[in-house]
Amino acid sequence: MVKLMLALDLDKERALKVAEEVKDYVDAIKVGYPLVLSSSLEIVKEIKDICEKEVILDFKVADIPATNEKIAKLSLRYGDGIIVHGFVGEDSVKAVRDVAKPLNKKTILVTEMSHPGALRFIQPIANELAIMAKKLELDGIVAPSTRPERLRELKHLSNLPVLTPGVGAQGGRLEEIIKILDENDYIIIGRAIYNSEDPKKMAKYYKEKIRALSK
Ligand code: 3DU
C-alpha cells in the first residue's frame, strides 16, 4: 500500500501533540524549517520517542558541495534521510549522498515542485533532475501531486520511490494520483491533516482512503 507521510510544519508544542494524535495512521513524518527553526534538530528524537516512525528532513539543501557535505553531516545525526535540490548540480547532490549512504540514510531529490511558481524555472529541467537521481542511485524523488501527468513521467524517468506533496491544501486529488503510485511511494500531506479540527480523524480518513483506492 502507498504510504502516508505527515508534513509537520508546526511549532514544537503543536507538532508533538499532532504526532501523538496521528501516530496510528501515518507511516512516516517529514520535518522542515518551520519546526526545526522553532525548536531544534533534537525535535526529531522527540518525535521518534512518540511514534517510532521514519523521519525525513526536508531541508531542500542547495549549496556548493563542500557546504552541502557539512549540512548533511550535521543534519543526518538525526532522522532517516534528507531532501536536496538538484538544480545546483550533480557534484552538490553527490556530496550529500556520499555522507548519507555510509550512514544508511536516504538522499531524496526534489524534481518538479508542486506550487504554481515551479512552472517557470524548475519544470523545464525536472525531467533531467529525475534522470540524474536515477544515475546517482539516490533513494527517491519529490514530485508533484498537483500535476498527475508530471508525477507519472518523473516517477517513470527516475524509476525511484516517489514522495509526492500537493494533496489537500494545494488542490491535488488522491483519486487522481493513487493509481500512479505503488507501495514504495509516499503521499505527503500536511495542512489538510494538522489544520483540521480533528487531526486524528483526518489522518485516519486519508489512511483509509489510500487503502480503499489502492485495491
Ligand atoms: O501543502 P501541505 O500542507 O500538505 O504540505 C506539503 C509539504 O510538502 C510542505 O512541507 C512543503 O514544504 C512540502 N513540499 C511541497 O509542498 C512541494 C514541493 O515541491 C516540495 C515539498
Q: List pLDDT tens digits, range 144-201.
A: 999 999 999 999 999 999 999 999 999 999 999 999 999 999 999 999 999 999 999 9
CA distance 66 to 68: 6
pTM across the whole model: 0.98
Instruction: Say yes or no: ipTM exceeds 0.90.
Output: yes
Tell how far the Cα of 113 is from the centroid of ligand 1, in angstroms.
8
Q: List pLDDT tens digits, range 74-117.
A: 999 999 999 999 999 999 999 999 999 999 999 999 999 999 99
CA distance 101 to 99: 6
Tell how far the Cα of 32 is from the centroid of ligand 1, in angstroms.
10
Please determine, looking at this structure, whether the domain spanning 3-214 carries the CATH number 3.20.20.70: yes
Which cell goes with 63? Answer: 549549496
What is the residue with the minimal CA distance to atom 19 of ligand 1? 113
Numbered residues of the known binding site for substrate: 9, 30, 58-67, 114, 165-175, 190-191
Q: Which residues are catalytic?
A: 58, 60, 63
The residues spanned by each domain of the chain are 3-214
